Structure 1
Amino acid sequence: MKKLRLFLMITLGCAILAGCSSNKLSGDFNEEELKTTTEKVIQMLCNEEYDKIKEMSGQELIDAGVTDKIKEVWEPMAKDLGKFDSIDKEAVVGNGDQATVVIISKFENGNAQFTISYNKDMKLTGFYIK
């Protein structure tokens, strides 16, 4: 589990560092679309629709087998967190040709933070759950 979290953090770090020059969202992205898409990804995760998440992923994540790793990490967390309740906070940050959405969600037994990055084609390039 530690290896997966490290891998996901490195993936996210690379996405962020790729466009460190500015936190401004590129004109290639729509902030509301990013938030809505990320909320859908979280719902897919809660519904254990891992194949749908894979379909939305960029080739690098697919090649790295990240969707299997997401499942491996998420299932024990989901048991502890319980049923999804609501979105608490959302933030969108631009990273050059990448965009990252951070959403804190409330669950029955606690909160979870999702940090999900996208490329200009709206493919997932980073996925981190805390």
Structure 2
Amino acid sequence: MNDNDNDNDNDSERFKRGWEKLREIDGDAGEKVIESLKNIAPDLARYTIEFPFGDIYSRPQLDLRSREIATVAALTAMGNATPQLKVHIHGALNVGCTPQEVVEVIIQMAVYAGFPAALNGAFAAREVFAERGMIED
């Protein structure tokens, strides 16, 4: 963190809750994202832990499976967030989604985001599934 940060920022309940949730959902992939920001944008790393994971993902109104389905859908529809989509496909699988459900969500996005976005999402899913040994690449 930079000199303007409070030394206790990483000890806040929000940060701790977010870090635990990030590890629960995204595991190593999420930790790699945070680590990759360490030398260039440590504040962005902290914000990523605190807001999405400490505040939003920790809300009880939706389970993690539902949240990851929504996230995979949104990132697929954006069409320009492949690295983040791959992390969240891993996350969806980590919290109980099946590969078939992930693919179905991506296919659904063809209706709302177009075929190019859905195709890009399917290719991202293929890479994640191959990395996890679920399919041959």
Rg larger in 1 or in 2? 2
Same fold (TM over 0.5): no
Q: TM-score, normalised by structure 2?
A: 0.28
Q: TM-score, normalised by structure 1?
A: 0.29
- Tell which has more relative contact order, 1 or 2 (C-alpha 8 A, sep 6+): 1
Between Structure 1 and Structure 2, which shows a larger proportion of strand residues?
Answer: 1
